[in-house]
Structure 1
Amino acid sequence: MRNDLNIPFLAAVIFLALLTGCSNRPALEEMNPDQAFQYLKGIYNQGDYLNAANGFDFFTLNYSGSSLVDSAQFMLGQAHIKLKEYLLAANAFEELTRRFPRSPLVPDAMYMIGVCYWKLSPKYPLDQEYTDRALDALQAFIDYFPDYTERVRDAQELIEACRDKLAHKEYASGLIYFKMKSYQSAVIYFQDLLDTFYDTAWAPLAAYKLGASYAGDEQFENAYEAYRAFISKYPDHPWRSRAESEMKDLSRKIEKTDWNE
């Protein structure tokens, strides 16, 4: 009974939405490109991001010959960002780089692609596809536009954040295998972290746990060398004394193994 009573109300809402959308479009079509663009910027600046996004999308399709179409494409991306529609925003900026490769807005668009994917990046235990995309996009931006000083600095900070998150995930995965006593799998994760994310805060922890993983797998010589590498690279780390203690114990085990052989 309650659902039946809601049907007229929903129908009225849909009708009003369609009426509003249709009433705006003819007014936009009657404007020249300059007028339409300024009108849409006004809507955007007033905070009406949904109508601004719809309008800029309409502009890019219907004023494709205008010198302002690349700006409209960029503003479409910005409107989607304001709406927290980051995937749509990334698509809009990517479309700008494809359709208008010579536009002066390409550097900003490439940077914003990375920002959008970073916004979509989830917490470290989850799938990190968008973090990888953000990292690739931001690095591409820096490679293409190394002199774009302010944006490059911001991009580098985001790259560091991406790498830290990816390293965190790698370390957490290695730790899971370590706790499960799947030491060979743990070695793979910790070594990969050291090879790929050597400049993150997770590298010292991975270096220590690499030694512990080798020790757990009874690869005593590899464990000894891993601990020695840890101390050499991170001499002031709080875990140094633990590593030194482990090395003494490993020395005895190595000597015992050699004696038995």
Structure 2
Amino acid sequence: MKKKGLLLLGLFLVLTSCGEYQKVLKSEEPGVKYTMAEKLYNQAKEENSKAKFRKALRLLEQIVPQYRGKPQGEKLAFLYADSYFELKDSYNAGYQFERFTQSYPNSDKVEEAAFKSAKSYYFLSPRYDLDQTETVKAIDELQKYIDAYPNGEYLEEANVLAADLRVKLEKKAYEIAKQYHHTTNYKSAIVAFNNFITEYPGSPFREAAFYYRFDSAYKLAINSYQYLMKERLETAKGFYNNYQKYYPEGSVYYNQLQTDFQDLDTRLQNF
């Protein structure tokens, strides 16, 4: 009986709370909405409650424009952007935090807003094989934060996120070059791998790029007309020497590389 009474009491409180929220939502008083929105936001933070963030956001959507330019406007603008961030609405969070940093450059929340704006764009970055416009935007925003706050609270995380996005761009460029190789478009593969090696000197895909550049040149040479073969074999030999310079014996492609080079060298000697 006691347990049933507690359940009924809880249900009553929930219904009362819902009724109060609906009343405030329909109210014409921005001050009442301000108070409840702030209360719900703080509760949502403490409880990690998505439902309360959504409720706070509905109220904030109504009153943020009314407080723009007023003393409370700064606080509301931050709560508004952060509610989107907590709800993982990365597009709106990034945009609203960006507006916040522009509107309130002297705020004590501006560093946090700058980082969360950049992080929101990070979450919008798609898979490496899709268009990477959002990835480039995210890197730019993270770099802005890093440059503006060289000793910032979020500097370490910003560097990690930016590095992760750069690897994604590198992987896309590498896979495009590799696709040329795998479809026997060796001329395009050589150009693409040359560009990759120049543009991404510290990439984790660099050794593979050196190998596939050589392999593309080697296969292009041995499948060429006789009058083109010698020059192309010499080009491939140059790429072999480049690979050997940076990745000596023991590298993952070493055995296959040596087999192909022996064949290449024999062909050159025959000329």
Q: TM-score, normalised by structure 2?
A: 0.76
Structure with bigger gyration radius: 2
Separation in 2, partners of 1:107, 1:201: 32
Matched, 1:225 2:238: yes
| Gap runs ≥5 in structure 2 | 1-20, 222-231
What is the letter of the counterpart of residue 233 of structure 2?
F
Name the counterpart of 1:179.
Answer: 182
What is the letter of the counterpart of residue 253 of structure 1?
R
| 8 A Cα contact 1:50 1:83, kept in partner | yes
**RMSD in angstroms over aligned alpha carbons?**
2.7
Matched, 1:237 2:254: no
CA displacement, residues 241-261 of structure 1 (integer Å, 9 cap, x when unaligned):
3323333332333344xx3xx
Name the counterpart of 1:95.
Answer: 99
Name the counterpart of 1:39.
Answer: 39
Matched, 1:212 2:215: yes
Match of 1:167 among 166, 170, 177: 170
In structure 2, the CA distance between the partners of 1:220 and 1:25, relative to structure 1 (3 Å rule), is farther
Separation in 2, partners of 1:216, 1:110: 50
In structure 2, the CA distance between the partners of 1:133 and 1:160, relative to structure 1 (3 Å rule), is same
User: Tell me, what secondary structure is at the counterpart of 1:126?
Assistant: coil
| 8 A Cα contact 1:28 1:36, kept in partner | no
Name the counterpart of 1:63.
Answer: 67
| 8 A Cα contact 1:113 1:134, kept in partner | no
In structure 2, the CA distance between the partners of 1:151 and 1:30, relative to structure 1 (3 Å rule), is closer
Name the counterpart of 1:117.
Answer: 121
Residue 196 of structure 1: CA displacement? 2.4
Separation in 2, partners of 1:248, 1:72: 71
In structure 2, the CA distance between the partners of 1:87 and 1:139, relative to structure 1 (3 Å rule), is same
Name the counterpart of 1:198.
Answer: 201
CA displacement, residues 115-155 of structure 1 (integer Å, 9 cap, x when unaligned):
1122122222222222111111111211121111x411111
Residue 49 of structure 1: CA displacement? 1.6
CA displacement, residues 22-77 of structure 1 (integer Å, 9 cap, x when unaligned):
742537513496x4663353354352122222333344312223444333323222
Name the counterpart of 1:189.
Answer: 192
| 8 A Cα contact 1:163 1:197, kept in partner | no
CA displacement, residues 97-126 of structure 1 (integer Å, 9 cap, x when unaligned):
222223232322222222112212222222
User: Tell me, what secondary structure is at the counterpart of 2:88?
Assistant: coil
Q: Report percent identity of matched pairs.
A: 23
What is the letter of the counterpart of residue 252 of structure 1?
T
User: Tell me, what secondary structure is at the counterpart of 2:27?
Assistant: helix
In structure 2, the CA distance between the partners of 1:57 and 1:253, relative to structure 1 (3 Å rule), is farther
| 8 A Cα contact 1:40 1:56, kept in partner | no
Matched, 1:152 2:165: no
In structure 2, the CA distance between the partners of 1:49 and 1:37, relative to structure 1 (3 Å rule), is closer
| Gap runs ≥5 in structure 1 | 1-19
Q: TM-score, normalised by structure 1?
A: 0.79
